[in-house]
């Protein structure tokens, strides 16, 4: 699946963003940025660090990964997704519609979904509470089809679901 916006267009935006913030384009930033848009998957700081370490190119330290992801987030290029218990992964944003996440507690697979009805109800509740809503995070957790099948074969699905609920 390709993004509706191609790599070079996104890169131009990044250049632009750096310029407006008087930040500099460095090989490290470029590597991190490109990797973030090349993968169509969620990644942690550690994962990004390992990816870059395993490939050719200028070395990138953990500190720089932290610092750069912060810049990318501030610029709206990536977004942090809390997967639970303090764990954070990132996903690139440009060319993607807003969406929420459904995470498999067994294999950690992350599915995305959108539901305008839910969004509308969120806004309604915020308003009722007298808040100006600026953001939200909705995360569903459960057992994905594949993992459920495996458990079902062993007759352990009910048990697991009960334990998790």
**Residue 27 binds which entry of a copy of itself, DNA, none, CB below 5-8 Å type-dependent:** DNA
Q: State the residues that interact with a copy of itself by CB under 8 A.
A: 82, 84-86, 88, 102, 104-105, 111, 113, 115, 117-118, 121-122, 125-126, 128-145, 148, 157, 161, 164-165
**Residue 156 C-beta: closest distance to DNA, Å:** 25
User: Which of 97, 87, 105, 95 lies closest to 42, judged by CA?
Assistant: 87
**Residue 93 C-beta: closest distance to DNA, Å:** 19
Residue 66 or 113: the one with the smaller Cβ distance to a copy of itself is: 113
Q: State the residues that interact with DNA by CB under 7 A.
A: 18, 22-29, 44-46, 58-64, 66-68, 70, 86, 88
Distance CA 95, CA 38 (A): 13
**Residue 134 binds which entry of DNA, a copy of itself, none, CB below 5-8 Å type-dependent:** a copy of itself
Q: By the 8 A CB rule, do 43 and 4 touch?
A: no
The residues near 73 (Cβ < 8 Å, ≥ 6 apart) are: 79, 80, 90
Copy the structure tokens of residue 47.
């994962």
**Residue 95 C-beta: closest distance to a copy of itself, Å:** 19
Distance CA 149, CA 137 (A): 29
Residue 16 or 146: the one with the smaller Cβ distance to a copy of itself is: 146
Q: By the 8 A CB rule, do 32 and 68 touch?
A: yes
Residue 55 or 70: the one with the smaller Cβ distance to DNA is: 70
Q: By the 8 A CB rule, do 88 and 80 touch?
A: yes
């Amino acid at each position: 699946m390709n993004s509706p916006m191609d790599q070079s267009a996104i890169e131009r935006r990044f250049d632009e963003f750096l310029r407006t913030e008087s930040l500099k384009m460095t090989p490290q930033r470029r590597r991190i940025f490109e990797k973030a848009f090349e993968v169509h998957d969620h990644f942690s700081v550690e994962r990004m660090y390992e990816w870059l370490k395993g490939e050719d190119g200028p070395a990138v330290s953990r500190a720089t990964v932290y610092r750069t992801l912060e810049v990318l987030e501030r610029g709206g290029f990536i977004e942090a997704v809390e997967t639970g218990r303090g764990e954070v992964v990132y996903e690139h944003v440009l060319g993607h519609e807003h969406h929420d996440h459904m995470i498999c507690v067994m294999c950690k697979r992350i599915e995305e979904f959108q539901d305008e009805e839910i969004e509308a109800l969120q806004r309604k509740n915020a308003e009722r509470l007298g808040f100006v809503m600026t953001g939200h995070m909705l995360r569903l957790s459960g057992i994905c089809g594949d993992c459920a099948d495996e458990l079902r074969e062993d007759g352990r699905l009910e048990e697991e679901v009960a334990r998790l609920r």
